[in-house]
Structure 1
Amino acid sequence: MMTRRLTPEEFAATRINPQRVNSGQPVPHLWQYVEAIPVADFCGFDCRTGAVTHVYRMNDQYEHILVNSEFMGVAMVIVVDLVQQDIYGHFLLDINPPNTEIPE
Structure 2
Amino acid sequence: MQTRKLTDEEFNATRNAPLRVEDSTPPLDFWSYVEAIPAEDFGIADCREGKVTHVYRMGNEFEHVLVNSQYQGVAMVIVIDLKQGQVYGHYLLDINPPGTKEAES
TM-score, L = length of structure 1: 0.96
> Counterpart of 1:96?
96
**Distance (Å, rounded) in 1 between the aligned partners of 2:27 and 2:9:** 24
> Counterpart of 1:40?
40
**Distance (Å, rounded) in 2 between the aligned partners of 1:28 and 1:84:** 11
**Distance (Å, rounded) in 2 between the aligned partners of 1:102 and 1:22:** 29
**Distance (Å, rounded) in 1 between the aligned partners of 2:73 and 2:100:** 11
Name the stretch that deviates more: 27-36 or 54-63.
27-36
**Matched residues, number:** 104
SS at match of 1:60: coil
**Distance (Å, rounded) in 1 between the aligned partners of 2:71 and 2:24:** 26
Give the ranges of 4+ consecutive aligned residues of structure 1 lying more than 4 Å apart after TM superposition: none
**Distance (Å, rounded) in 2 between the aligned partners of 1:43 and 1:70:** 12
**Distance (Å, rounded) in 1 between the aligned partners of 2:53 and 2:33:** 18
